[in-house]
Structure 1
Amino acid sequence: MNAQNLDNPNNFFESKVLGHPSGLFVLFFTEMWERFSYYGMRALLVMFFTASVLGDHPGWGWPREHAMSLFGSYTALVYLSTMLGGYFADKLIGFRWAVIVGALLMTLGHGCMAVETPFFIYLGLGLLVFGTGFFKPNMTSIVSLMYKDHPEKKDGAYTIFYMGVNAGAFFGILLCGYLGEKVGWSIGFGLAGVFMLFGLLQFYFMQNIFGTIGLKPIKAKDVVIDKDDTDKRVPFSSWQLIIVGLCSILGLIWVINDPVSKISKGAQNLLNFNIFGMEGTNFTILLALVLFLFLLFFRLTQYSKITRDKLYAVTFFATLTFSFFAVFEQAPGTLTIFARDYTDRVLQGDASLIFLIANSLIAVVPLGIITWVLFLLFGQTFKKFALANLILSASFVIIWMITIWMLLRDFYGAGHLTLSDDTLSMLKIEKVKENLTQIPASWFSVLNSLFIITLAPLFSKWWESKYNPGANVKFGIGMILLGLGMAFLVFGARDIAPGAKTASVSIVWLIFVYLFHTMAELCISPVGLSYVSKLVPARMIAFMFGVWYLAIAIANKVAGILGENSDAIAAEKGISYFFLIITGVAVAIGVTSILLAPLIKKLMHEVK
């Protein structure tokens, strides 16, 4: 029997694909389309804002400072909203409806952005913030609950799920980025919404495959308490909750006011005041930071020594994670702009042909593998969930059509392929031969997902070997690799004069940047949350995860601020100097992390 036993709706392993429950692959494809839409839109946003208002492909003509400011606030709010979405799921509507609400809001958000007017762009970004907050944290919660009775399978499940995340990001950047840059911004934004809709419908019509998981919030009596956790409880007092509320309000005011005040050129600025000789913005940031650090370290002092030491270690790792993402998140902003304005993306002759063949393999091989997994899922679920399977199959027919169209268009446009007039008309390809290939600026961002899929198994083997380094060393290696990645641009951009608006740097340097940054990500991103779960008592995990995501949210905003200042530094000392500063800071933090390894190891109290 392929469908789940009606007497035991949570017997997930009765219907399996590749040794895992069919429901895992429903989540895989839902997450894949959500990441497709999120990263596809993200790849275009800064370029759309900064594109000239003139020409055949007009944007909004914003200064980079304005675009980076808005983008930094948007990504920060996306991470902050996960706390709101998690709360609603836990207390009110359950994981399943949170995913459905989030997917619907994101579908509407992408649809709004396709209109391209200011009102609909801002409305779309707002819907995407709240939609992602409802969607993102609750998908992983469903995975966790599915494997509650099979912990030995959980690592493999998260690996498969993570592949869905990266596959979605890969195809979203590849296809939305291509259509947005080559055809029209609204087409790229709209395509992201189309596939988010497919993900929503597929999940909605196949949700019964999850049995009773996520139907209602988990009540306090259902939460498993760690019996070995005998440390004293430290509940939040009234004054502490007031500080939490004040920090939240100040932080939101700063994050939202920053782009609003810059885009309106000061006409709308809630922080237009001075206190103690400080500008309102700086005062607000400093006050929120001081209050937050005071509350954090005050609470840490209230626990027993062992718990306190472990929480100090988690705080240290959260600080390193903040530093990592402040640099890593230059990719959709500063690095994409560098690709567009300073990189020689035009290939001719053999170079053009080699790139097009490589790009075809990069696109077709992963898509073929995922389509094969789709057929395996059909074999297990089609009889019971025919409509959902038909919707999912329709999404793949469309993705194959767009991919083949993109590849044919590029081969024809570069003069490597001859097509009849009828074929050109049917495929909507203009009869223009340029005899060259121009790589989309957004294309370089696909390298991150490609390198993750390629390198993740190697790093996993490293972590399982006898040469597995400690936590500090992993973080240190990651920060050093991050800095070395930027060092390639320090060298590659060395001849770009201060104030230059364009240049022709080789694409090789950006490829190396993404290679090293991906290796850095594999050292830090998956490892960090693992150490939180190991070091923090079970009852405090939700709170410390909140602190962790808060660090990432602030890092995304700081990444935008760094990007804002790149133009000023480039105008005075050259863009190479901007990358040199980031290189030096990242490497210094990495070395410091490694040197502090004995101290942090002591604070971790034998936790591996």
Structure 2
Amino acid sequence: MSNITTNNSGELFGHPKGLFILFFTELWERFSYYGMRAILVLFIYSSISDGGMGWTKEEALGLYGWYTMLVYLMSIPGGLLADRLVGQKKAVMIGGVLLCAGHLVLAVPGQAAFFAGLTLIVLGVGALKPNISTMVGGLYKKGDIRRDKGFTIFYIGINIGAFLSSISVAYVAELYGWHYGFGLAGIGMIVGQIVYVWGQKFLKGVGDFIPKKSESGEDNRKALTKVEKDRMLVLFLSFIIIIVFWGAFEQAGGLMNIYTNEKIDRTIFGTEIPAGVFQSVNSFFIMTFGTLVAAYWAKRRIKGLEESSLFKMAIGTIIMGTGFIMMTAAAVDADASTDGKGALIWLILAYFLHTIGELCASPVALSFITKLAPVKYASFMMGAYFAATGLGNKVAGLLGEYSASWGELETFTGIAIFAILFGVVLILALKPLKRLTHGAEDGEAEVA
């Protein structure tokens, strides 16, 4: 299994220095991923004369769904790779190398290079994503309230990378061609790998592989206790929330991206903005409101109000669902306008609400797993979380495909209603779900 105990490399801004190595590594890894994602669907369905692949929109959304699903499904074997063979630290290193290769191969024109690049990225994300997240949890001792804050900081790093790449990669692709955009994403991944290699000295004792026994000498093959089984059960149940949340949220890279390109008035001060640039709006809002949302939940904790991880995830799903009401308004606006395009403000409001929902649900879910998962299954459970994210991405792709026959207005409205109702049902089921955690989130306090 992997060792996830805290390290002794000192602190920076009240957190272990290793957090900031993982922060910048993930920043650049997400720069590469989201930069490529911002132009992927647009590249696939653009005409061959425009440098694209010339597929239909339905085919492009179908491939997007399969790709994003497989990217995250590979987190399960990636977690097992760490738990059983090499440890989290080496798994992240292997994933980084594969990602560098994959993004650079995408910069080469040709269908064979395109699919080879996607395959390498799928394998690379599978090895890196679950294990770098588990390493963040391993920086903190049990019961350290800074863990949630640490994951929020880490999450902001993810979105700084996504923000910078969505703008820069989209503009490079627009001005110089699709493959130059893919190449810029690859350069970002190389920078992230350099940061990770350089920062190993700050990650001593975190993510190392220890066969058979933990530091305490406990045999990791021992059967799970009743408490551990209950906690595993609630984690698997929480993955249903993840599938629903990301199934709706990930319309951003597919259906909403195409809708923005075709049916949103993107002209600002006389200049039409490339559709891919608006993929940066979500990241901008996360950087702007990330600490404020974290502070809000911390204040609720101080007041003794409900702020469990499951409650936050439910509220996040409801808020995200209301974002699709804004997209419904955009569709109504587009249908009523003479040029067939809706106002940009509806898209911005949708991204704002999606972001607040994401900040309530996603970083909290990552922290929740590191609190509840048995140590010997830490990377596997993080991998299962990302696999649930992958299934959500596939659901997103299917919804995007079906929207061609359903209509965008009906699709956006249906997603809004389902997400809001699902969040309400989750709140109603909160007490029995919390009992299964056996107080894993109780008694958290600041750790010096």
Scaled by the length of structure 1, the TM-score of the pair is: 0.64
**1:88 to partner: Cα distance:** 2.6
Aligned counterpart, 2:341: 504
- Is 1:493 the counterpart of 2:331? The answer is yes
Structure 1 unaligned spans of 5+: 1-9, 235-302, 353-435
Aligned counterpart, 1:420: none
What amino acid is aligned across from residue 462 of structure 1 in structure 2? Y
Query: Relative CO higher for 1 or 2, CA cutoff 8 Å, sep ≥ 6?
Result: 2
- In the alignment, the residues of structure 1 paired with residue 252 and residue 424 of structure 2 have an alpha-carbon distance, to the nearest angstrom, of 23
Aligned counterpart, 1:339: 260
- In the alignment, the residues of structure 1 paired with residue 139 and residue 382 of structure 2 have an alpha-carbon distance, to the nearest angstrom, of 21
**1:53 to partner: Cα distance:** 2.3
Q: Percent identity?
A: 38
- Is 1:200 the counterpart of 2:193? The answer is yes
- Is 1:443 the counterpart of 2:435? The answer is no
Residues 144, 578 of structure 1: CA spacing in aligned structure 2 closer, same or farther, 3 A cutoff?
Answer: closer
What amino acid is aligned across from residue 488 of structure 1 in structure 2? M
- In the alignment, the residues of structure 1 paired with residue 418 and residue 16 of structure 2 have an alpha-carbon distance, to the nearest angstrom, of 45
Does the CA-based 8 Å contact 2:148-2:367 persist in structure 1?
no
Residues 550, 161 of structure 1: CA spacing in aligned structure 2 closer, same or farther, 3 A cutoff?
Answer: closer
- In the alignment, the residues of structure 1 paired with residue 134 and residue 311 of structure 2 have an alpha-carbon distance, to the nearest angstrom, of 30
1:569 to 392, 406, 414: 406
Residues 317, 12 of structure 1: CA spacing in aligned structure 2 closer, same or farther, 3 A cutoff?
Answer: same
Residues 517, 226 of structure 1: CA spacing in aligned structure 2 closer, same or farther, 3 A cutoff?
Answer: farther
Aligned counterpart, 1:552: 389
**1:194 to partner: Cα distance:** 1.3
- In the alignment, the residues of structure 2 paired with residue 602 and residue 488 of structure 1 have an alpha-carbon distance, to the nearest angstrom, of 36
- In the alignment, the residues of structure 1 paired with residue 82 and residue 310 of structure 2 have an alpha-carbon distance, to the nearest angstrom, of 34
Residues 105, 316 of structure 1: CA spacing in aligned structure 2 closer, same or farther, 3 A cutoff?
Answer: closer
- In the alignment, the residues of structure 2 paired with residue 310 and residue 150 of structure 1 have an alpha-carbon distance, to the nearest angstrom, of 16
- Is 1:594 the counterpart of 2:427? The answer is yes
- Is 1:579 the counterpart of 2:412? The answer is yes
Deviations 1:169-216 (A, max 9, x none): 1111111122113331111100011121222234334534444655x5
Aligned counterpart, 1:480: 318
- Is 1:97 the counterpart of 2:87? The answer is no
2:41 to 40, 46, 52: 46
Deviations 1:353-379 (A, max 9, x none): xxxxxxxxxxxxxxxxxxxxxxxxxxx
What amino acid is aligned across from residue 597 of structure 1 in structure 2? L
- In the alignment, the residues of structure 2 paired with residue 71 and residue 18 of structure 1 have an alpha-carbon distance, to the nearest angstrom, of 39
1:233 to 218, 223, 238: 223
- Is 1:463 the counterpart of 2:307? The answer is no
Does the CA-based 8 Å contact 1:472-1:596 persist in structure 2?
no
SS in 1 for 2:48: coil
What amino acid is aligned across from residue 323 of structure 2 in structure 1? G
Aligned counterpart, 2:364: 527
Does the CA-based 8 Å contact 1:496-1:576 persist in structure 2?
no
What amino acid is aligned across from residue 321 of structure 2 in structure 1? G
Q: How does 1:260-271 map to 2 (within 5 A)?
A: none
- In the alignment, the residues of structure 2 paired with residue 95 and residue 603 of structure 1 have an alpha-carbon distance, to the nearest angstrom, of 28
Residues 481, 142 of structure 1: CA spacing in aligned structure 2 closer, same or farther, 3 A cutoff?
Answer: closer
**1:76 to partner: Cα distance:** 1.3
Does the CA-based 8 Å contact 2:88-2:135 persist in structure 1?
yes
**1:450 to partner: Cα distance:** 1.4
Residues 133, 509 of structure 1: CA spacing in aligned structure 2 closer, same or farther, 3 A cutoff?
Answer: same
Does the CA-based 8 Å contact 1:91-1:218 persist in structure 2?
no
Does the CA-based 8 Å contact 2:43-2:52 persist in structure 1?
yes
1:317 to 235, 238, 258: 238
**1:544 to partner: Cα distance:** 4.1
- In the alignment, the residues of structure 2 paired with residue 160 and residue 452 of structure 1 have an alpha-carbon distance, to the nearest angstrom, of 11
What amino acid is aligned across from residue 252 of structure 2 in structure 1? A
Moved more, 109-118 or 33-42: 109-118
Aligned counterpart, 2:446: none
**1:117 to partner: Cα distance:** 0.9
SS in 1 for 2:158: helix
Residues 535, 17 of structure 1: CA spacing in aligned structure 2 closer, same or farther, 3 A cutoff?
Answer: closer
**1:121 to partner: Cα distance:** 0.3
Aligned counterpart, 1:221: 213
**1:550 to partner: Cα distance:** 2.9
Aligned counterpart, 2:445: none
Deviations 1:297-334 (A, max 9, x none): xxxxxx75x66655544333221221111101111001
What amino acid is aligned across from residue 40 of structure 1 in structure 2? G
**1:597 to partner: Cα distance:** 3.1
Aligned counterpart, 2:128: 135
Does the CA-based 8 Å contact 1:462-1:468 persist in structure 2?
no
Q: How does 1:14-25 map to 2 (within 5 A)?
A: 17-25=12-20
C-alpha RMSD of the superposition: 3.0
What amino acid is aligned across from residue 255 of structure 2 in structure 1? T
What amino acid is aligned across from residue 175 of structure 2 in structure 1? K
Aligned counterpart, 2:27: 32
Aligned counterpart, 1:62: 55
Does the CA-based 8 Å contact 1:100-1:200 persist in structure 2?
yes
Deviations 1:104-134 (A, max 9, x none): 2111111111123110000000011111122
Scaled by the length of structure 2, the TM-score of the pair is: 0.85
Does the CA-based 8 Å contact 1:225-1:538 persist in structure 2?
no
- In the alignment, the residues of structure 1 paired with residue 317 and residue 414 of structure 2 have an alpha-carbon distance, to the nearest angstrom, of 14
What amino acid is aligned across from residue 493 of structure 1 in structure 2? A
Moved more, 94-103 or 190-199: 94-103
**1:509 to partner: Cα distance:** 0.5
Moved more, 116-125 or 202-211: 202-211
Deviations 1:511-549 (A, max 9, x none): 011111111112221233444444555555555444433
- In the alignment, the residues of structure 2 paired with residue 535 and residue 207 of structure 1 have an alpha-carbon distance, to the nearest angstrom, of 27
Residues 322, 140 of structure 1: CA spacing in aligned structure 2 closer, same or farther, 3 A cutoff?
Answer: closer
2:354 to 498, 517, 525: 517
- In the alignment, the residues of structure 2 paired with residue 546 and residue 23 of structure 1 have an alpha-carbon distance, to the nearest angstrom, of 21
Q: Which has the larger radius of gyration?
A: 1
